[in-house]
Each structure stands twice: as structure tokens, then as C-alpha cells.
Amino acid sequence: MIKINVITVGKLKEKYWRDAAEEYSKRLRPFCQLEIAELAEARLPDSPSQKEIAAALLTEAKTMEGYLCKKGAYNIAMCVEGRQLSSEKLAEKITGCATDGFSIINFIIGSSFGISEDIKNKAHLRLSMSELTFPHQLARIMLLEQIYRSFQIANHTKYHK
């Protein structure tokens, strides 16, 4: 069974987001081993300089490293400049990773300032959900839903119409 890590900076604060994440986690249990890693967000002043932002992204990147360096891991950086895929193409990517010998898929969601270039450069794929901007908490739920949808597509269920 493939392992999927959703590596994210920050916690889900509101109960309704936590409930939604738990629901998709429950739905995904038959298809994969899911882990959601909530990493600490680097503290920044209200109006940070570019240098402060870069230092914060580097600090966050160091906490992500342990997931990315694992043998057999396929890393996907969720970032605005990434490629957009249809649900069907994402399903193909996930099933293709398993077929190609990857035992872990890491989806990486950064902080409100993004993900460090170092982490993006270590990613096999840069993926964007949309040209629209979403709150990070909603983006996490949307990603979990798309992962679930991918498994439904791969298993030819009626969930994806």
C-alpha cells in the first residue's frame, strides 16, 4: 500500500477544517497510508523584509528535509507556479508513482510565503491547484479531496463523474 504524506506548514485552527481533514483521512484508509505532518511555521514580524522571509522559508525547509530524503519518495511541491493537472491526470500520476517503484508520495504545502526554492528544486513535480489564491487551510482540504478523488478514479467508482 502506498504511503501519502501531506507535509504542511501550520495547523488547522477551526474545527470544521479539522473535521473535513479527518473525513478525507477516513475515506483514504482503504487506499493508502496517509500521514499529515503539521510543521511549525517560522515566526515573522508583521511587515517582514525579503531577507526575513527567505530565512523563514529556509527554517521551514529544514523541517521538511526528513520527509524528502526518504528512499522511494516522490516529492510534489504545491506552488502557484506549478503545473495544473486535471483530476484524471493527477490520478494517473499517483498510480504511475506506485507502478514506477515509489512507495511514498509527499505533497508539500508551504506557509503563506510559499516554499523555499531548495525544496522546490528537490521536488519531482511542482503542482498548482489553480491560478486562484486559496487560504492554506482550504488548500489542504482541497488537496485531500483530490487525492481521494484520484483513488476513486483509479478504481473506476461513481464518485468522479
Q: What is the pLDDT of residues 128-161, one digit of tens each?
A: 999 998 888 999 999 999 999 999 999 999 987 6
Where do the structural domains in the chain lie, given as residue ranges?
Answer: 3-154
CATH architecture of 3-154: 3-Layer(aba) Sandwich (3.40)
Pairing of strands 104-109, 73-83: parallel
Distances (CA, A) of 139 to 54, 88, 110, 128, 130: 22, 19, 11, 10, 10
Q: What is the pLDDT of residues 56-111, one digit of tens each?
A: 999 999 999 988 878 899 999 999 999 999 999 999 999 999 899 999 999 999 99
Q: Element (H or E) spanning 104, and its range?
A: strand 104-109
Greatest Cα pair distance in the chain: 49
